Chain A
Amino acid sequence: MAVITKDQVKHVANLARLAITEEEAEHYTEKLASIIEFAEQLNEVDTSGVEPTTHPVPLVNVLREDKPSKGLDRDLMLKNVPEHEDGMVKVPSILG
């Protein structure tokens, strides 16, 4: 069985909010399949009883004093916003 099908690639592209053409779907199916097949060799490793590592150097509960501080200036934050109006970020209509 193929490790990843073209339909799965289309599904994943949609989850990742990427628009891909039929031709691209074929390209990525091939490319992703070769990488996933390569990754399958992890199944050779016995990991029973092994804890997963989420973080290379363990850290627990990094706390700071609960003191408010000033955030960034609004005008400054809008500097890189492609479209804005009256100090607000503008997006296309959400409800069709």
Chain B
Amino acid sequence: MTLFNHSAKELQQLLHSKEVSAVELTDEAFRRIGKVDGDVKAFLALNEEQAKARAAELDNTPADQRGPLHGLPVGVKDNIVTEGLETTCASRMLGGFDPIYHATAAKKLDDAGLITVGKVNMDEFAMGGSTETSYYKKTANPWNLDYVPGGSSGGSAAAVAAGEVPFTLGTDTGGSIRQPAAYCGVVGMKPTYGRVSRYGLVAFASSLDQIGPITRTVEDNAFLLSAISGHDPFDSTSFDIDVPDFASALTGDIKGLKIGIASEYLGEGVGEASRNAVKDAIKVLESLGAEVEEVSLPHTKYALPAYYLLSSSEASSNLARFDGIRYGYRAEGIENLEDLYKQTRSEGFGDEVKTRIMLGTFALSSGFYDAYYKKAQKVRTLVRDDFTNAFEKYDVVIGPTSPTPAFKLGEQIDDPLTMYANDILTIPVNLAGVPAISVPCGFDNGLPLGLQIIGRHFDESTVYRVAHAFEQSTDFHKRMPEIREGLEQ
């Protein structure tokens, strides 16, 4: 049993009535991690000493100075730098890397009174859809330990699903928050590009990356997004606009709201279980008074190839900084600078990362730039226009988060195109920069499925309102996987 089947609001009440303290909640996180993480393998580094000291401090904060997340434990994806807490991006390249500052999102967690208990696993440099490309460990899906948790924020989703922590931060470049959230039966939000500062997020594809929350409930998610959002002078792509109290949008009322169901999201390449779960979700939304109609996003199919060219091109440039000179892994016994670069990068990066770097270098290289990179940028415009057109008529667009539920560990790791295809329904959202959430909407053979709700730029409020109304009319979010608490690892 874990305390973290409670919502933030319930935990806050327990803290307020002094039935539990922040120290006890932190102890509970480490106890639960100790009991189940030997099986789930979500955590890479624990922050036990600092977390406990911080919890003791937070217990002394007067009640009127506490926000909705005060004194609660949180896990942070390992590509978000945390001062004094090892940050590896699940790569050998950054083994032992000890950040000298906090990412803005990590600092905002501190400011909100959250307690960072540790760093969670991911695909190496966030490149992958199963968390299997991590150099350190393979995280398991808490619903069935033989299955992947999804990726790249697989550790973030699995840690919440397993009740190790009530919330985590993930990052989403092509679906890396929403797809693992769907696979693990939790709530994951990719905010509008520019909503959350990327300062201190180790860059993968800078025009696509966003940090976002993974939680058990929609309300918790809204609290956490309000806490981490906002303009940051250290990230000039973060937007200087007001951050709403997203939780206040959760009215339960979606009467008259216009919802488009993307016909391409129920088409080719999408499995029956995902289609049926979304069809059932439509009935729920209609019963709540929403008007649901089909809408076409005609360039959906081309988003995936465009994304691989663009994200890999950006990655090839971003990852040039890892050269063994200023931080991270350095190859030994090399006499000459150029060989030092090459040897360091060859030993420090894994197969998928090297693949993407080379793909990106190729797409940007002389003679191929127009045919690949520039062509993909133009297709990106068309994908974005699909959403702009849809949002002229609809308040949100919905579809499945992923074509299928989670697959078995080891099943797709040697087949890149099959692995990439798991993201066909999440990638268009990143190309367009719009916000989207995944909420639990069903099960197939005991594995969770996710409903994706996509909104207009900076209209996370409506996305949350629909997600919350749906959640409150269903009971999928109340189910937890049965994980036996094993012996202390």
Point out residues on A near B: beta carbons under 8 Å.
4, 8-9, 12-13, 15-20, 28, 31-32, 34-36, 38-45, 47, 50-57, 59, 62, 64, 72, 76-77, 79-83, 89, 91-94, 96
Contact A91 B355, CB 8 Å, known A15-B365, A80-B100: no
**In contact, A92 and B433 (Cβ under 8 angstroms):** no
Q: Does B194 contact A (CB under 8 A)?
A: yes
- CB-nearest residue of chain B to A79: B100
For B230, the chain A residues whose CB sits under 8 A away are none
Q: Does B389 contact A (CB under 8 A)?
A: no
Q: Interface residues of A: mostly helix, strand, loop or mixed?
A: loop
**In contact, A55 and B207 (Cβ under 8 angstroms):** yes
- CB-nearest residue of chain A to B343: A19
**In contact, B299 and A45 (Cβ under 8 angstroms):** yes
For A83, the chain B residues whose CB sits under 8 A away are 330
The 3 closest A-B pairs by CB, nearest first: A56-B433, A52-B377, A80-B327
**In contact, B380 and A92 (Cβ under 8 angstroms):** no
**In contact, A17 and B342 (Cβ under 8 angstroms):** yes
Q: Could you list 14 A-B pairs, sorted by A, with CB under 8 Å?
A: A18-B354, A36-B359, A47-B379, A50-B381, A50-B382, A53-B381, A56-B384, A57-B192, A57-B194, A81-B325, A82-B327, A92-B337, A93-B335, A93-B336
Q: Does B143 contact A (CB under 8 A)?
A: no
Which of B192, B345, B380 is close to A52, meaning CB atoms less than 8 Å apart? Answer: B380
**In contact, A19 and B342 (Cβ under 8 angstroms):** yes
**In contact, B358 and A54 (Cβ under 8 angstroms):** no
We find that the number of chain B residues with CB closer than 8 angstroms to chain A is: 69
**In contact, A79 and B98 (Cβ under 8 angstroms):** yes
For A38, the chain B residues whose CB sits under 8 A away are 305, 308, 417
**In contact, A34 and B358 (Cβ under 8 angstroms):** no
**In contact, B342 and A18 (Cβ under 8 angstroms):** yes
For A52, the chain B residues whose CB sits under 8 A away are 374, 377-378, 380-381
State the Cβ distance, A48 to closest chain B Cβ, in Å: 9
When each residue 36-63 of chain B gets 1 if its CB lies under 8 Å from chain A and 0 otherwise, what string results? 0000000000000000000000000000
**In contact, B98 and A54 (Cβ under 8 angstroms):** no
**In contact, B377 and A54 (Cβ under 8 angstroms):** yes
**In contact, A53 and B384 (Cβ under 8 angstroms):** yes
Contact A80 B308, CB 8 Å, known A32-B358, A50-B378, A52-B380: no
Question: Could you tell me the distance between the alpha carbons of A41 and B374 in the complex, rounded to whole angstroms?
Answer: 14
- Residue among B327, B343, B359 with the highest chain A CB neighbour number at 10 A: B359
Question: Could you tell me the distance between the alpha carbons of A91 and B358 in the complex, rounded to whole angstroms?
Answer: 25
Point out residues on B near A: beta carbons under 8 Å.
97-98, 100-101, 192-194, 207-208, 233, 236-237, 239, 299, 301-302, 305-306, 308-309, 316, 320, 323-328, 330, 334-343, 345-346, 349, 354-355, 357-359, 361-362, 365, 372, 374-382, 384, 416-417, 420, 430-433, 457
Question: Could you tell me the distance between the alpha carbons of A81 and B100 in the complex, rounded to whole angstroms?
Answer: 12
- CB-nearest residue of chain B to A43: B375
Question: Could you tell me the distance between the alpha carbons of A78 and B337 in the complex, rounded to whole angstroms?
Answer: 19
For A51, the chain B residues whose CB sits under 8 A away are 378, 381
**In contact, B100 and A77 (Cβ under 8 angstroms):** yes
14 other A-B residue contacts (CB within 8 Å) besides A56-B207, A92-B340: A15-B365, A18-B342, A38-B417, A42-B305, A42-B376, A52-B374, A52-B381, A53-B381, A55-B237, A56-B430, A56-B432, A62-B237, A89-B325, A94-B337
**In contact, A41 and B337 (Cβ under 8 angstroms):** no
- CB-nearest residue of chain B to A72: B100
**In contact, B98 and A80 (Cβ under 8 angstroms):** yes
For A16, the chain B residues whose CB sits under 8 A away are 316, 320, 345, 357-358, 361
For B325, the chain A residues whose CB sits under 8 A away are 81-82, 89, 91
Which of A47, A55, A57, A91 is close to B378, meaning CB atoms less than 8 Å apart? Answer: A47
**In contact, A4 and B417 (Cβ under 8 angstroms):** no
Which of B372, B376, B416, B430 is close to A34, meaning CB atoms less than 8 Å apart? Answer: B416
For A93, the chain B residues whose CB sits under 8 A away are 335-337
State the Cβ distance, A42 to closest chain B Cβ, in Å: 5
**In contact, B305 and A81 (Cβ under 8 angstroms):** no
Contact A28 B354, CB 8 Å, known A19-B342, A42-B379, A57-B194: yes
Question: Could you tell me the distance between the alpha carbons of A8 and B359 in the complex, rounded to whole angstroms?
Answer: 11
State the Cβ distance, A56 to closest chain B Cβ, in Å: 3
Question: Could you tell me the distance between the alpha carbons of A31 and B362 in the complex, rounded to whole angstroms?
Answer: 13
**In contact, A32 and B359 (Cβ under 8 angstroms):** yes
Question: Could you tell me the distance between the alpha carbons of A54 and B325 in the complex, rounded to whole angstroms?
Answer: 30
**In contact, A34 and B337 (Cβ under 8 angstroms):** no
For A80, the chain B residues whose CB sits under 8 A away are 97-98, 100, 326-328
Question: Could you tell me the distance between the alpha carbons of A56 and B377 in the complex, rounded to whole angstroms?
Answer: 11
- CB-nearest residue of chain A to B239: A57
Question: Could you tell me the distance between the alpha carbons of A79 and B252 in the complex, rounded to whole angstroms?
Answer: 51
